[in-house]
């Protein structure tokens, strides 16, 4: 029976136990946690790999670092933050998951997320699909012209890129201009009918940020900073994150 006994404590210092303490709101106390399971009730990843947010947090609090770092469940969390919203203690479990991801050797993190992050770092668009600013400008212009011709009621519709002084700057899921360009048009129509003053930026327009999901702080910062810099250079007032 001894092989089924989980032994806690020992001489090893727990990294995650200290992180749990730091994640508690001011005055928070883990002893007040009743393991109510509210965090798990609305979690899309509950049950996957035999894990859920409640169990993950308790394992961290008990110093079970080795088990946490060997679980693939950390890559199944969507970072949606529903668990924080319903938690009576408002514990930031997604931050703990992010820290666990960042503890993995970079080359051992999921290949799909890793490849998408690295692709975004290689182009000024920050597009996980590898679409360059020139590619994006061509596709947007081509699709816009097609819909203006086909639908006279939208003959004056605009889809500007790098418009200086626009009130809104938008990003764009880069899969759409690459594989489903028509999917960009409904949003253009809404903005047109609303009379919005908007623009895309030619740099940093890729809306998905796989580097965040990879747990790579520096790469995440680069992607975000590229988009923010483009907005500042164009003098836009509001950044609309369509993702």
Taking only the tens place, the pLDDT of each residue in 86-136 is 988 878 888 889 989 998 999 999 999 999 999 999 999 999 999 999 999
Taking only the tens place, the pLDDT of each residue in 31-82 is 556 678 999 998 999 999 999 999 998 888 788 888 888 899 999 999 999 9
What is the chain's alpha carbon radius of gyration, rounded to the nearest angstrom? 22
pLDDT of residue 6: 43
pLDDT of residue 180: 95
pLDDT of residue 159: 98
pLDDT of residue 14: 60
Which domains occur in the chain, in start order? 2-104 (1.10.1060.10), 111-240 (no CATH)
pLDDT of residue 164: 98
pLDDT of residue 5: 47
| Cα dist from 192 to 156, 202, 228, whole Å | 8, 20, 24
**pLDDT tier for residue 8 given thresholds of 50, 70 and 90:** very low
More confident residue, 25 or 100: 100
How many CB atoms are closer than 10 A to CB 152?
8
pLDDT of residue 11: 47
pTM of the model: 0.81
pLDDT of residue 16: 65
Taking only the tens place, the pLDDT of each residue in 133-162 is 999 999 999 999 999 999 999 999 999 999
């Amino acid at each position: 029976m001894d092989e089924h006994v989980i032994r806690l404590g020992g001489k090893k210092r727990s990294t995650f136990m200290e992180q749990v303490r730091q994640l508690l709101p001011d005055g928070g106390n883990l002893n007040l946690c009743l393991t109510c399971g509210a965090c798990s009730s609305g979690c899309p990843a509950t049950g996957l790999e035999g894990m859920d947010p409640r169990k993950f947090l308790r394992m961290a609090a008990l110093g079970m670092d080795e088990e946490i770092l060997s679980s693939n469940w950390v890559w199944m969390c969507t970072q949606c933050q529903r668990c924080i919203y319903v938690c009576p203690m408002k514990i930031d479990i997604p931050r703990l998951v992010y820290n666990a991801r960042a503890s993995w050797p970079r080359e051992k993190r999921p290949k799909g997320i890793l490849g998408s992050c690295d692709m975004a770092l290689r182009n000024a668009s920050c597009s996980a699909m590898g679409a360059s600013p020139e590619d994006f400008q061509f596709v947007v212009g081509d699709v816009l012209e097609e819909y203006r011709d086909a639908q006279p009621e939208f003959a004056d519709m605009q889809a500007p890129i790098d418009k200086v002084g626009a009130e809104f700057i938008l990003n764009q899921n880069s899969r759409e201009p690459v594989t489903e360009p028509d999917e960009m048009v409904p949003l253009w129509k809404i903005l047109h009918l609303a009379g919005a003053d908007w623009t895309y930026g030619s740099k940093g327009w890729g809306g998905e940020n796989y580097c965040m999901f990879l747990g790579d702080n520096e790469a995440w910062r680069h992607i975000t900073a590229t988009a923010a810099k483009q907005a500042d250079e164009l003098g836009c007032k509001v950044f609309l994150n369509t993702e």
